[in-house]
């Protein structure tokens, strides 16, 4: 059950970190929930910090892949943003623990030992969007020099609306992606 123990640890860590953040979770809590011993965690990951990084690697790989795929700009900004937004909403609705894990990680204190892991992941997450908006600026002159601002604004909007959906404050209707993009596009084209 070698791979089973590793997977059980990752699932336990994801669930615990998603609700309590890095600092709020002990190695003992992780191994207790996974049903393994501390030496098992240290065998696979070496430390709590390396274990935390592994969660980003394992669960973040599909999100990074999705962004790289959906951020290939081919001239239709509105269509691409609608498709990307719908894809992100679909992705996170099936991975709520990973969403809350990222939300907890996003607020990492600047001097914390785990902040470099979080920053590295967020940089990788933003890179396809930055490239997307830079390419879009070739067709939409008013976007020139605004790729970073648009990336932050877009990700912030998606994060906030998904949080509201998860908390039951916003209903996810079939046209939610369209309505979000309509609002976002109004800001771009104004």
Average predicted confidence (pLDDT) for the chain:
91
Tally of domains within the chain: 1
| Closest alpha carbon to 136 in 181, 78, 89 | 78
Q: Which two tokens stand for residue 93?
A: 């609705």
Q: Which two tokens stand for residue 63?
A: 């999100």
Mean local confidence (pLDDT), 180-190 = 72
**Confidence class of residue 187 from pLDDT cuts 50, 70 and 90?**
low
**Per-residue pLDDT, 2:** 46
CATH number at residue 43: 1.10.357.10
> What mean pLDDT is predicted for residues 154-159?
90
Radius of gyration of the chain (CA): 18
pLDDT grade, residue 143 (50/70/90)? confident
Distance CA 177, CA 23 (A): 34
Residues in the chain: 190
Three-state SS string over 55-78 comes to: HHHHHHHHHHHHHHHHCCCCCCHH
Q: How far apart are CA 8 and CA 35, in angstroms?
A: 8
Domain range for residue 175? Answer: 2-189
């Amino acid at each position: 059950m070698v791979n089973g123990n590793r997977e059980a640890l990752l699932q336990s860590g994801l669930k615990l970190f998603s609700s309590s953040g890095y600092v709020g979770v002990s190695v003992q809590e992780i191994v207790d929930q996974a049903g393994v011993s501390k030496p098992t965690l240290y065998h696979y990951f070496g430390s709590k910090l390396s274990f935390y990084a592994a969660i980003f690697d394992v669960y973040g790989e599909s999100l990074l892949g999705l962004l790289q795929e959906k951020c290939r700009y081919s001239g239709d900004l509105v269509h691409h943003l609608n498709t990307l937004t719908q894809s992100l909403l679909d992705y996170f609705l099936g991975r709520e623990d990973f969403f809350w894990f990222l939300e907890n990680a996003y607020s990492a204190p600047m001097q914390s030992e785990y902040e470099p892991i979080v920053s590295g992941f967020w940089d990788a997450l933003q890179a396809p969007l930055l490239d997307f908006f830079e390419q879009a600026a070739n067709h939409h002159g008013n976007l020139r020099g605004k790729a970073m601002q648009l990336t932050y604004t877009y990700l912030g909007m998606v994060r906030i609306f998904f949080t509201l959906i998860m908390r039951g404050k916003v209903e996810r209707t079939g046209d939610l992606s369209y309505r979000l993009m309509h609002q976002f596009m109004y800001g771009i084209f104004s």
